[in-house]
Structure 1
Amino acid sequence: MSTKRFIQRAAVLAGVAGLTGLMGAGLASAHVTADYYGQEPQKGGRGLIVLRVPNEEADAGTTKVEVAFPAEYGITSARTKPVPGWSAEITKATLPTPVKNGKGADVAEVVSKITWTAQGGTKIAAGSGEYQEFEFNASTLPSTVDTLVLPATQTYENGKVVAWDAPPPPDGGEEPEHPAPTIKLAAASSGGDHGHDAAATSSGEQSSGHNEASAASATDNTARWLGGVGLAVGALGLGVGAGATIRARRGAAPKADA
């Protein structure tokens, strides 16, 4: 087996093993968790967060999910991404004493929770074979914490309510039975819209690549044109030389006796 094929096969096997490990961990824990797609949520910014909710009851499906926002975070705005078959309600609360938001401003009206409720017989099916994702956009994210702790509540169609609200254990501590969803916050980017800068960088790279490709193409075309001219000139020279040789031979040929 060639070295290249060996490396490719090893990479595939490693990827499969990693994916299997992640799937196994997810199935083993089956907790309500928070995650994100795309750019990592940043301190003092806006974040797209995904609440991932698996079903754990063998004989009952999930019909309501709620996520709470601690008042001290000072989150004043939230929007939800539509989930087919589910309605979403954003609840706000007025605080008796203003708190600082992620940009250092005093805010008194904050988002306290988001509730998703199944409609028309929709649910996360009974058993452990399904999960649902609930995506929302929140701002301004706090700048004084490294990790968001977002307590959640899961309600089943049989009336059972599970509170996922246990705070994260200290490093090395044992995970609680019903941990609250958490998500780490990246340090605030310095200056400008990071996503826009990334897009501009990507565009610049594409533009640079296009220019390099155009230059390479032009160089290649020029080389081919010069090569063609050289062949034509060489063929012309060969023809002239051959004609001269033939004339010289005819001139040197002995004349027949009269």
Structure 2
Amino acid sequence: MKPYPLARTAAVAVVVTAATLVVAGPAAAHVTVNPGTAVQGGWTKVSFRVPNEKDTGDTTRVEVNLPTATPIASVSLRPVTGWTAVAEKTKLPTPIRTDDGEITEAVTRITWTAAPTAVIKPGQFQEFDVSLGPLPDADQVVFKALQTYSDGDVVRWIDEPTPGVEAAHPAPVLRLTAAATDDAVASAPPAPTAASTDDSSDDGYGYGLAGVLLGLAGLVAGLLAYRRTTRNG
């Protein structure tokens, strides 16, 4: 007996879905920086999210490289339980000018190494928080990352973004937007003011109207009484 068309359609859908998951699975397990956007010239706290993409190995070491072409003057690390963090500085070819003077060196590499009890096991992920600022006047900051496994395998997440090309090992990218200018803030329409919730004037108006109505009612009653008296007389 031939299968019903609906059964065939469902079977095809299951096969296609399974194939899609198989293809998309490895690509979705790359190292990322979150959130993925920030403001030029500002400060931000980002998290480098590192998932374990292997079934037979633990992640024991994570290395993140900061670009020297767009250096960041201040880099602070949040401690991660069971991990040792080392921030390496490099002398800059062009010093960074700040309000506190020139900075001639900046952090260009951060390395986290796990204790045996803190490794990232299969099916797990870890986040490494970093405070950065001031952010450069650029469209983006590319952080090339290396992920080391317990079996000695090193995955290099270093492919820079290319329009129209899906990278096999994309590097974490922080996209930067321009800060709002004073002119833009000045030209912004004023925020609407909330309507007053004081209803004392409404109450006064209501009482006045009630008095007028009562007066009219009394006048009408008086006229009717006068007419009845006139007729009886």
**Counterpart of 1:241 in 2: which secondary structure?**
helix
**Percentage identity across paired residues of the two chains:** 35
The Cα shift of 1:189 comes to 4.2
Cα 1:157–1:191 change in 2 (3 A) is: farther
2:96 touches 2:104 (CA, 8 Å); kept in 1? Answer: no
Matched, 1:160 2:142: no
TM-score, L = length of structure 1 = 0.64
TM-score, L = length of structure 2 = 0.69
Residues matched between the structures, number: 207
The Cα shift of 1:168 comes to 3.3
Show structure 2 runs of 5+ residues with no match.
1-22
Structure 2 counterparts to residues 35-54 of structure 1, below 5 A: 35-36=34-35, 40-42=38-40, 44-54=41-51
**Counterpart of 1:73 in 2: which secondary structure?**
coil
Determine the structure 1 residue equivalent to 2:16: none
2:48 touches 2:127 (CA, 8 Å); kept in 1? Answer: yes
Higher strand proportion: 2
Structure 2 counterparts to residues 110-189 of structure 1, below 5 A: 110-119=106-115, 121-127=117-123, 130-143=124-137, 145-169=138-162, 171-175=163-167, 177-189=168-180
Determine the structure 2 residue equivalent to 1:99: 94
Matched, 1:32 2:31: yes
The Cα shift of 1:113 comes to 1.6
Show structure 1 runs of 5+ residues with no match.
1-23
Determine the structure 2 residue equivalent to 1:9: none
Supply the RMSD in Å over aligned alpha carbons.
3.6
**Counterpart of 2:159 in 1: which secondary structure?**
coil
Higher helix proportion: 1
Selected match of 2:63 from 56, 62, 66: 66
Q: AA paired with 2:63?
A: E
Structure with more contact order per residue of length (Cα contacts < 8 Å, sep ≥ 6): 2
Q: C-alpha separation between the residues in 2 aligned to 1:101 and 1:77?
A: 11
Cα 1:189–1:52 change in 2 (3 A) is: same
